[in-house]
Amino acid sequence: MNREVLAIRHVHFEDLGSLELELGERGRLVRYLDVGFARIEAPDPVSASLMVVLGGPISAADDDLYPTLVPLLSLIEKRIAAGLPTLGICLGAQLIARALGARVYPSGRTELGWTPLTLTDAGRASPLRHLDGAQTSMLHWHGDTFDLPDNATLLASTPACENQAFAWGDHVLGLQCHPEIRADRFEPWLIGNAGELVAHGIDARRLRAETAQLGPTMEAAARRMFGEWLDQVEAQSKP
């Protein structure tokens, strides 16, 4: 089995974070494709064992402003059609939703900070059970949202965003939230988004302190969730 993981990265500090630690322990090699530094259409969408589309500060619907979105959508569509494991985080989840025919649009409010997830019955029966709000909180950082794609299963919500996590089939997982965050590598998030924090009246000192307090528990839970999901998709892919 090909052990390579292809990660589509839009900004350097929004990487796989703690999920990369889980992959490393499993002997999985991560290859990043940095948007803007490489041709989006260059990778074979079906060659990697797992593809992850990471977050970023742009809108998933801004094709006219960001010409990388159309070839990335094509990559995602081919990957999903092939029935191969695909994970989207924040912008990545929005792009997966759009690739599945759903609408992505401004939510009318920015969800930025720590809020626990409320899981659906399907979420509690899935690997996301490790991220239940009764056990851990979750970091959110987005202004857009999306409609639930046809035939998708809603897994989690928050008061500000109904569609926080969804599964599509057995091989696709979309997470509007940020389970990959690492508390010990959070400072670049604050520096890289300083203007946005000021615009929304959010004190970087408070967000830093909350992340230091809540991050380690969430990291451990996120790795358990991700590991269980990997086990499931790998078991399903075996002949």
Is 200 one of the catalytic residues?
A: no
CA angle 55, 61, 67 (to 5 degrees): 85
User: Which pair of tokens denotes residue 165?
Assistant: 């996590």
Catalytic residue among 90, 111, 171, 219: 90
Residue 213: how many other CB atoms lie within 10 Å: 12
Q: What is the CB-side half-sphere exposure of residue 229 using CA atoms within 13 A?
A: 29
Among residues 14, 111, 180, 219, the one annotated as catalytic is 180
Among residues 20, 140, 178, 219, which one is catalytic?
A: 178
Question: Which helix (H) or strand (E) covers residue 157, if one does?
Answer: strand 152-158
Total Cβ atoms within 10 A of residue 178: 20
Q: Is 33 left (phi over 0), alpha (psi -120 to 50) or beta?
A: beta
Q: Is 130 a catalytic residue?
A: no
Q: Is 90 a catalytic residue?
A: yes
Are 173 and 52 within 8 A, CB to CB?
no
- Residues forming the active site: 90, 178, 180
